[in-house]
Amino acid sequence: MVIALGSMAVKVPFTLQYAREQVPREFWDNPRFLRTNYRITGAWGAAFGVAAIAGAYGDLALHDANNLWTGWIIQIAAIIVALRFTRWYPEVVRARSLRERGLPGPPEPPLSSMLLPPAGYLTPVGIVVLAFNAGPTWLGIVLIAAGVLLVKSLNRPSAAEPDTGDGA
């Protein structure tokens, strides 16, 4: 978390080095490219912060460094969200940039495409809750059901994307 936020403080977001491997050099000084990297680095800083707080709570308050929730489930969820945001947000920025310039391009990816992996994480978490007795039975069942229902609803084609019937 310190590295992510510190890199932003010194005006060199740590995601720049990775983004530059995928983006042509002529965009490196573009304010939109830099702003995108600040936001992605901020998302990683937030994820690392959530993981650190969860881990600290498990260690200091629960006195259990290997607590399933604070040592694993919450920390993995934070990383999944950061990973998905890292893939989703640049696609949003590219689509908006093309649209603003009146150029053809893919549509802006919906928020549901970013939320799908975290929603999909709920089902295995529910299974883990049941398998390891990591909470009340009802919680495991609710997490499994919520994961299945959310994934199903997020996978529905939007009005902008008509269902072709081919399963895609």
Q: Are residues 99 and 38 in the same domain?
A: yes
Which one-letter amino acid corresponds to residue 84? R
pLDDT in tens, 99-120: 999 999 999 999 999 999 999 9
pLDDT in tens, 77-105: 999 999 999 999 999 999 999 999 999 99
**Domain limit, last residue, from 71, 92, 109:** 109
Q: Are residues 144 and 77 in the same domain?
A: no
Placement of tokens 């975290």 in the chain: 118
Q: Residue-wise over 66-104: b if at least 16 C-beta within 10 A, else e? A: ebbbbbbbbbebbeebbebbbebbbebbbeebeeeeeee
When pLDDT is averaged across residues 40-67 and rounded to a whole number, the result is 97
Q: Are residues 95 and 119 in the same domain?
A: no
Q: Are residues 57 and 22 in the same domain?
A: yes
When pLDDT is averaged across residues 6-26 and rounded to a whole number, the result is 94
Closest residue by Cα to residue 37 from 78, 85, 79: 85
What is residue 6's three-state secondary structure? helix
Name the domain count of the chain.
2
Q: Is the pLDDT of residue 31 over 90?
A: yes
Q: What does the block give as tokens for 164?
A: 């072709």
Res. 166 pLDDT band, cuts 50 70 90: very low
Q: Is residue 167 one of the residues assigned to a domain?
A: no
Q: Is the pLDDT of residue 159 over 60?
A: no
Q: Are residues 76 and 27 in the same domain?
A: yes
Query: Rounded to an integer, what distance in angstroms lies between the CA atom of residue 114 and that of residue 91?
Result: 11
CA geometry: angle 116, 22, 78, nearest 5 deg: 35
Which one-letter amino acid corresponds to residue 66? N
The pTM for the full model equals 0.88
Residue 43 lies in domain: 1-109
Q: Are residues 67 and 136 in the same domain?
A: no
